[in-house]
Chain A
Amino acid sequence: MIQVRDLNFTYRKSGKKVIHDMDFEIEEGEVFGFLGPSGAGKTTTQRLLIGLLKNYQGQIRVFDRERSKWGKDFYEQVGVAFDFPNLYTRLTARENLQLIGAYYRNRITDPEELLDMVGLLADKNVRVENFSKGMKMRLNFARSIMHNPQLMFFDEPTSGLDPVNAHTIKEIILNLKKQGKTIFLTTHNMTVAEQLCDRVAFIVEGKIAATGSPKALMIEHGKRVVKVEYRLNGKQVEQDFEMNDLGKNEAFLNVLKMAEIKTMHSAEATLEDIFIKITGKTLL
C-alpha cells in the first residue's frame, strides 16, 4: 500500500533537514504505528505521505503511484484525523459531517450511524462550539472515516479522550482493520500502539531506529524469566526463574507446590523500555 525509499526532507524556509534516509513499507490491511517523541519527525512524515508537503527527495509510493503524481482524487480513498479538532464550530455535529461529506464521490456512511458509533448521537443537533475537547476529537475521527476510505492516517487518535471513549475509538480502529483497511497511526502512547498495531517503527531525529511487531520486539528485548511473587512461611517473596526448562526447575516447582502465589508474570519488555533502550531517549 505504501512504500517509502531513501526519503529525505528539508524545510526550505528554515533549511532544517528533518527526515533522513527513511525506508519502510506498509502492507494492505496493516495497522502501522509510527512512534516517537515530539519533534522526532512523525508529523512531517505523515504530512509527506498525505501530500501536505512537497519537494521531498526519495520515493513515496502510495496506491502504486508516486505521491507527487497524485492529484486531489487521492483523498477519495484516504481519511485523515489530525491530533487537534478541526470543525465548523457554529455548525452542529450532523451538519459538520454532511457538509464535508458532500465533497466525496463515495457514498458516505449515514451521519447518524457514525455519530452513534462514536457516542455522539444524542448530541447530533448540538453546535460544536458547545462540545468538550473529547467530543470534538470523536467527531473529528468519525468525519475521517465517513467516506469509507481504504487508507487512513490517525494522529494521536485517543488524545484528550477518557478511558471509555478511548476504548470505543480503539475498537473502531480494530474493526476497520478487520475490514481490510490500512491504517497509519502516529502516537507517543505505547499502550495504544501495543493494542492496535501490527507493526511499529520507532522514529528519532528523523530516522527509523527499529521496526517490528510489538509482540516480537517485546519478547526480543525482554528477559526470559518468570517473575513470581509469593508468600511462604509468613514472608512475602519476589523471585525470578529462568524460562528455559522451567518445568524441570525444582525451586520453581517447589514454590508452586508450597507457596501461596500472589502474582506470576513473564518479563517481556514494554515498548517504552525498548524505545529507551534503542534510542536512549524518552517518549514525552
Chain B
Amino acid sequence: MRLWNAIKADMLFQFKQGFYFVYVFVAVMYLVMLSFLPEKIFLIATPLIVFSDPSVLGLFFIGGIILLEKGQGVLTVLVVSPLRTSEYIIAKVLSLGFISVLAATAITFFSGYQQVNWFVMVASAMLTSAVFTFSGIMINAGCSTVNQYLLKTIPWMLLLTLPCIALVGFPGSWVFTAVPSVAALRLMLGAYWGIGWVEALLLIVYLAGVNFLLLKWAVRIFENKIVFQE
C-alpha cells in the first residue's frame, strides 16, 4: 500500500513538475524525425530511439527529480516517515519506467512500425529504464548541484553506452552482453527485428537479476549518503 502510494505521489510530482509535458514534446519530435527517414534507416533508427529514450529519461530525469526533492527539503521529510528507502527507490523506478513504456509504445505505434513484439518491447523499455534510473540514483546520492550531477553522469553514460557498439558484431562480441545496457539493447532490437523466445526470456531474467542487485546497491548508497549524512 505504501509502495503504491509512493508511486502515485511520484507520478503526481512528475506531472506537476511538467515532466510528462516535456515527454510528450520529445516523443512528438522523435515521431516527426522518424517520418522523414527512408524506410531502411527508419527500421534501424526506431528501436535505437526507443532504447535511448528510457536510458536518457532514466538517467537525467531521476537526477532532476532527486535534486528537486533535495532542494525543496522533501527528502528530509520522507526520511523521517515510515516510507522505506527501498520503497522510495522502487517507486521512482516504476513511475519513470511507466513514462518510458508509454513513450516507447506511443513512438512505435504512431511511427507505423510493423511486426513488433510488443511484450518484448515493453519489457525491454521497463528494464532499460530501471537500469538507468538505478544508476542515476546512485550517481545523484552524493551530488548537491545540477553541474555536479551532469559531470558525474557523463562517465557512467559512456560506460553504459559505448559497449553497445559490440552489437554490430565481431568475434567474441557476445561477451559484452554481460553489460546491462548491451543486454537491454539486444532485447530491444529483438523486439523489432525478431528474437527467439529462449533468448528473450534469458535476457529478461538476466536484466531483472541485474536490476535486483542494482536496487540493493542503490539502497545502500542512498542510506549512506542521504539518510545518514554526516
Contact = CB atoms under 8 A, between A and B. Distances in A.
Contacts of A51: 80
Contacts of A53: 228, 230
A85 B77 contact: no
A241 interface: no
Interface in B151-207: none
A52 interface: yes
A283 interface: no
A167 interface: no
A68 to B, nearest CB: 11
Contacts of A54: 228
B80 A105 contact: no
A245 interface: no
Given A53-B230, A54-B228, A82-B76, A90 B16 contact: yes
A143 B77 contact: yes
Interface stretch (B1-9, B28-36, B44-52, B105-113): B1-9
Contacts of A105: 82
A252 interface: no
Given A50-B80, A76-B82, A103 B72 contact: no
Interface of A: 11-13, 50-54, 72-73, 75-76, 78, 80, 82, 84-91, 95, 99-100, 102-105, 143
Contacts of B16: 88, 90-91
Given A11-B230, A95-B12, 19 more contacts: A13-B230, A53-B230, A72-B84, A73-B82, A75-B80, A80-B80, A82-B76, A86-B73, A87-B72, A87-B74, A88-B16, A88-B74, A91-B16, A99-B9, A99-B12, A103-B2, A104-B81, A104-B82, A105-B82
Secondary structure at chain B's binding surface: helix, strand, loop or mixed?
A: helix
Contacts of B79: 52
B228 A100 contact: no
Nearest to B88: A103
B11 to A, nearest CB: 11
Nearest to A71: B84
List the 4 closest pairs (A to B, CB-CB), nearest first.
Answer: A86-B73, A102-B5, A90-B16, A80-B80
A85 B73 CA distance: 7
B17 interface: yes
A216 to B, nearest CB: 33
B174 to A, nearest CB: 43
B228 A86 contact: no
Interface residues of B, number: 24
Interface string B201-230: 000000000000000000000000001101
Q: Which of A52, A78, A82, A143 has the most CB atoms of chain B within a 10 A radius of its CB?
A: A52
A88 B14 CA distance: 11
Interface in B73-105: 73-74, 76-84
Nearest to B223: A54
Contacts of A73: 82
Nearest to A104: B82
Given A12-B230, A95-B12, A103 B74 contact: no
A273 to B, nearest CB: 35
B82 A103 contact: yes
B13 interface: yes
A55 B13 CA distance: 34
A131 to B, nearest CB: 12
Contacts of A50: 80
A100 B75 CA distance: 11
Contacts of A95: 12
A75 B9 CA distance: 19
Contact of B17 (A12, A78, A90): A90
Nearest to A9: B230
Q: Which of B9, B74, B79, B81 has the most CB atoms of chain A within a 10 A radius of its CB?
A: B81
Given A13-B230, A102-B9, A72 B73 contact: no
B227 A52 contact: yes
Q: Which of A11, A72, A105 has the most CB atoms of chain B within a 10 A radius of its CB?
A: A72
A157 B189 CA distance: 57
A144 B207 CA distance: 40
